[in-house]
Amino acid sequence: MTLSLGDLSITPPVLLAPLAGITDLPFRSLVSRWGAGLVVSEMIASGEFLTARPGTREKAELGAGGANTSVQIAGRAPEPMAEAARRVADMGARVIDINMGCPAKKVTGGYSGSALMRDPDHALRLIDAVANAVDVPVTLKTRLGWDDATRNAPDLARRAESAGVRMLVIHGRTRCQFYKGRADWAAIRDVVDAVSVPVVANGDITSAATARAALRLSGAAGVMIGRGARGAPWRLAEIAHALYGAPAPEIPQGAARAEIAKEHYQDMIRFYGPDLGGRCARKHLGWYMDAAGTPPELRRLVLTQTQPARVCALLDDALNRPDAEASDTASASPGKAVAATGKAVAA
């Protein structure tokens, strides 16, 4: 199955969600290597991007061969949003995504993210500005509404489509729910029925089973995976194989898992530099060790060590553990022999 965004096709319709501090270039590259229809950058604040605040441009860094990358921008004023979109498109982004779904107080307090759902007229001014500024497809990510009393996603979706938005991603919660409870996939169907452009379901989709349920209840054309990919960059390919018959991923176990984690760690060191890269990598290493059942003391040694060579040596012991295989393979789709390449192969 393919999502059509004008001249751009997304196959398979399994997308990586934008995650602050997580979906940077090293992680997006790893997920793309296994297989994902589209990967989305961390949210970029348009004002900070235009003033070249340290660390902001790196969030939009596409890298070589980033053909399936969307860059997400956020803001509260039309002109900076439009200019940021133009610059990101010039950098090579294939898609510009507008964030109107982030629930964080530091974002909504600045009248960005999901706060814009409280003022649809102003939200449309931002959408118009971005859509008219670039030639690449523009997409929109929202929640169901600000709270249960104002579930206005269908109306905003209709207006966004008229303004030129080519695809919508709906997280099945309101802003006031944050990440509590369960995502209401059935409520996304109202958005699907309101527009003719593709709608993608998001929220609590972590496996092939939850992806199937989300698609059945929402009627959406695809799924977006966020937290379910932490520590498992192969998760999107696993879901794409189960749902759409995409090539089966090789799920790394034992020594292969350790090699993937070490490669990810080293990519982050190269991208950010030793100090910042080491700090940014800790959360990823923690998630790999969660899945591997690493003993607490060994986990602590990995996460407190600052010498890259020593970290890599410790990861061999921390992740090459036979008891880790059961936790990951229980949900894995059949594939060929396990390897450390991350390359998808035919089932």
Residues marked as catalytic: 102
Separation CA 153–CA 145 (nearest Å): 6
Distance CA 157, CA 191 (A): 7
Closest CA to 101 of 118, 117, 113, 119: 113
Q: For every residue of the chain, which 3-state class applies, written as one string? A: CCEEECCEEECCCEEECCCCCCCCHHHHHHHHHHCCCEEECCCEEHHHHHCCCCCHHHHHCCCCCCCCEEEEEECCCHHHHHHHHHHHHHHCCCEEEEEECCCCHHHHCCCCHHHHHHCHHHHHHHHHHHHHHCCCCEEEEEECCCCCCCCCHHHHHHHHHHHCCCEEEEECCCHHHCCCCCCCHHHHHHHHHHCCCCEEEECCCCCHHHHHHHHHHHCCCEEEECHHHCCCCCHHHHHHHHHHCCCECCCCCCHHHHHHHHHHHHHHHHHHCHHHHHHHHHHHHHHHHHHHCCCHHHHHHHHHCCCHHHHHHHHHHHHCCHHHHHHHHCCCCCCCCCCCCCCCECC
Angle between helices 308-319 and 255-272 (to 10 degrees): 150
Angle at 6 between CA 2 and CA 9, to 5 degrees: 30
